[in-house]
Amino acid sequence: MHPKDALGRYGEQLAVQRLEQEGLRILDRNWRCPVGEIDIVARDGDCLVICEVKTRRRLTHGSPVEAVGPRKLRRLRELAVHWLAAHRMHAPTIRFDVVGIIQPREGGPIVTYLRGVD
């Protein structure tokens, strides 16, 4: 496995742990369709949560959460519609969250969790 892919998988596992600690129930991970991929789909009560995970080793290109801008959010909205259709589900509300992880070469990870990113 390529080191970047391994770092991404590690970050997603940390994100799942954080979301579960926050009381969310994980429904799906790495769901793909022709439009793209959703890292994590979860439930927070009646709310469907689409979560993007970004993991980096350093801040040379900005923080991980800064990488989720308007273009990525548009894509996530489109992916949410596809996920709901594929699973024949209805969600009264949909929220978009971001988990950013910095994993330096030495020391523990720094996890940032943003709820309701618009």
* Higher pLDDT, residue 29 or 60: 29
Domain ranges of the chain: 3-114
Q: Per-residue pLDDT for 96 more than 90?
A: yes
Q: Per-residue pLDDT for 70 more than 80?
A: yes
**What is the CATH number assigned to the segment(s) 3-114?**
3.40.1350.10
Render pLDDT for 48-62 as a digit per residue (tens, 0 to 9). 999 999 999 888 778
8 — pLDDT class (breaks 50, 70, 90): confident
The per-residue pLDDT for 4 is: 75
DSSP β-ladder status, 93-102 and 47-56: parallel
Residue 5 vs residues 1, 12, 63, 64, 92: alpha-carbon distances, Å: 7, 11, 18, 15, 34
Paired tokens of 58:
């350093």
Cβ atoms 89, 41 nearer than 8 A: no
> Across all residues in the chain, what is the average pLDDT?
93
